[in-house]
Amino acid sequence: MSKPATMKISETQLAMLMYITIMSTVTLFVPAVTAKEAHQDAWLTGAVPMVMGILSLFLVTRLAQLYPGQTIIQYCEGIFGKIIGKLLAFLYVAFFLVTNIIIIRELAELLAIMFLPGTPIIVLCSVFILSSVYVVIKGPEVMCRMAQFLLPLFVGIHLILIPMTMPDWKIERVLPILEGGFRPILRGSIVPSAWFGEFLLVAMFMPNVNKPQQMFRKGIFAILLIGASLSMAIFTSLVVFGPELSTILTFPLMSLIKYIKIGTIFQRLETYTLVFWIGIMFMKINVFYYVTNEGLAQSLNRNNSKWILWALAVVQILGATYLFRNTLDLSRFLTDVWIKLAFIFEFALLLILWFTALVRNKLTRKSL
């Protein structure tokens, strides 16, 4: 199942894939979380997450320069040795797996609430994973081509729908600015920072990139675009619903789209938007499924092991179905557990890996 040397993608394609991967879920869940912490200043919470995203991107691109042609799973062993490195590699695989289980359940809950009430969660999760198997087998090139098709549509939909809410804007709902100072904004920045830290995934795709030395520059552009898009989505939610209502809505952006009505022609737009959102969230499932499968195969030193692919499929279906009782349980796990795991794997361990790699390289040069 491993194709690092044969399937090549451009750095621009990977940047587009990362945009779709992060934006597919961050705009659904983060507006409510940031509104709870920062209230009317929630739209100002984008700066810190962008800095954290740039930090994560910087670390994975620098590690890729130190260990060209290797993924984070592979150079963990080169940095920390066979035992500790292998253990750390398995921990990263577990993190990717848990994250994808969450994403699968998020999409299942979105469909169950907005479109298919009463449908068993296990049926929805099974459909997502079994469909994803084909894309994972095809590899990153297919995923990047899908991202190239979806990204212009995603940006275009935002540019069309957000102005359609302007008749209902009440700017006083985001005033006064900085009423509580910077502390609420910093608290509201914690959760979206974990999403921006998903640029960690670049470490699994760097061996496939044609010009890895340009990935940092292209990735920064993607991070800035994600930050601007997220801030605009939060701002729109606030000026339409206000901070109090934005906090209690399960999916503020979907509720916002449902709110749009222009005459008798443009109504129930969330039905059409939901179809598109299923597509981009399905893309994110593909990406995490792929890196989990590749990571586990590399950790076990196995190539083209279909049993790994199908074993992961079963684990993800069962995990997404039975680990969480409902949307509230999922939301609590995200904010109480996953956020902490994300900061450990996306930032802390990356810093340790980079620093240790620098020290090892300097000691190696001195010994020569």
Amino acid found at 100: N
Does the pLDDT of residue 244 top 70, yes or no?
Answer: yes
Please tell me the distance from the alpha carbon of residue 65 to that of residue 59, in angstroms, as a whole number: 10
- Answer whether 7's CB lies under 8 Å from 141's CB: yes
Largest alpha-carbon pair distance within the chain? 77
For residue 354, the tally of other CB atoms under 10 A from its CB is 17
- Answer whether 85's CB lies under 8 Å from 243's CB: no
Look at the block and give the residue holding tokens 């059409």: 272
Q: For position 3, what pLDDT does the model report?
A: 47
Residues 6 or more apart whose Cβ sits within 8 Å of residue 71: 4, 203, 204, 206, 207, 294, 295, 298
Q: What are the beta bridge partners of residue 266? A: 262
- Answer whether 104's CB lies under 8 Å from 278's CB: no
Going by the DSSP 8-state scheme, the letter that residue 342 receives in this structure is H
Residues 6 or more apart whose Cβ sits within 8 Å of residue 364: none
User: DSSP string covering 83-96, please?
Assistant: HHHHHHHHHHHHHH
Residues 6 or more apart whose Cβ sits within 8 Å of residue 317: 104, 122, 125, 126, 129
For residue 148, the tally of other CB atoms under 10 A from its CB is 15
Average pLDDT, the chain: 88
- Answer whether 19's CB lies under 8 Å from 151's CB: yes
Q: For position 275, what pLDDT does the model report?
A: 79
Does the pLDDT of residue 256 top 50, yes or no?
Answer: yes
First-to-last C-alpha distance (Å) of the chain: 38
Does the pLDDT of residue 268 top 80, yes or no?
Answer: no
Q: What are the beta bridge partners of residue 262? A: 266
- Answer whether 102's CB lies under 8 Å from 335's CB: no
Does the pLDDT of residue 265 top 80, yes or no?
Answer: no
Does the pLDDT of residue 318 top 60, yes or no?
Answer: yes
Does the pLDDT of residue 365 top 90, yes or no?
Answer: no
Percent of the chain with pLDDT over 90: 58
Element spanning 16, H or E: helix 11-38
**HSE-up of 70 (CA within 13 Å, CB side)?**
17
User: Does 3.20.20.190 match the CATH number of domain 11-367?
Assistant: no
> Could you read off the pLDDT of 118-136 as tens digits, one per residue?
889 999 999 999 999 999 9
Ranked by mean pLDDT, the top range of 87-91, 106-110, 240-244, 253-257 is 87-91
Look at the block and give the residue holding tokens 């979806």: 150
Going by the DSSP 8-state scheme, the letter that residue 3 receives in this structure is -
Sign of CA dihedral 228, 40, 29, 250: negative
Of 342 and 328, the one with more pLDDT: 342
